[in-house]
Amino acid sequence: MRVLVLNGPNLNMLGTRQPEVYGPHTLAQVEDRCVEHGHALGLEVTCRQSNDEAKLITWIQQASATFEAIVINPAAYSHTSIAIMDALRAVDLPTVEVHMSNIHRREPFRHHSYVSQAAWGVICGFGIQGYEMALDALARRDVQAHTTES
């Protein structure tokens, strides 16, 4: 299974941006862990990050030609982007939304995510471990799908 891991705005600042909220790890470290963990699960993981909503939408739209699933940390776009939600619905790939912090324990405007409405599952509050949890869930989903097809 090929999985696209997308990271939204300001996540390129991981490691220096609010480490008390997001932890000490850089985006490169997060991506390396995703690739390594995915490999251990038999998944091929590709990671991308953009601060540009249009670029994220384009990658989502193109995903169905190359990938079987998406892990997305839409960051602030979670709370504002109907367009990302619509793109995820349009491609109809199993999608797991990840947030490093627990968005429900933060400012009230962060409690609602449009992206959640298009996601198969949502993981928040576990730091970078949330990405690994998302990959674990997708790997199990794929195994279960193949088991029921046999």
Where in the sequence numbering do the catalytic residues fall?
A: 22, 99
Q: Find the length of the chain.
A: 150
Distances in whole angstroms, Cα of residue 147 to Cα of each of 45, 101, 144? 22, 34, 5
CA–CA dist 38, 35 (Å, integer): 5
- Residue closest to 1 by CA, chosen among 58, 56, 70, 57: 70
Location of structure tokens 């990405």:
131
β-pairing, 121-124 vs 95-99, is parallel
Q: What angle do CA 5, 7, 34 make, to 5 degrees?
A: 40
- The pair of structure tokens assigned to 126 is 């576990």
What does DSSP assign to residue 56?
Answer: H
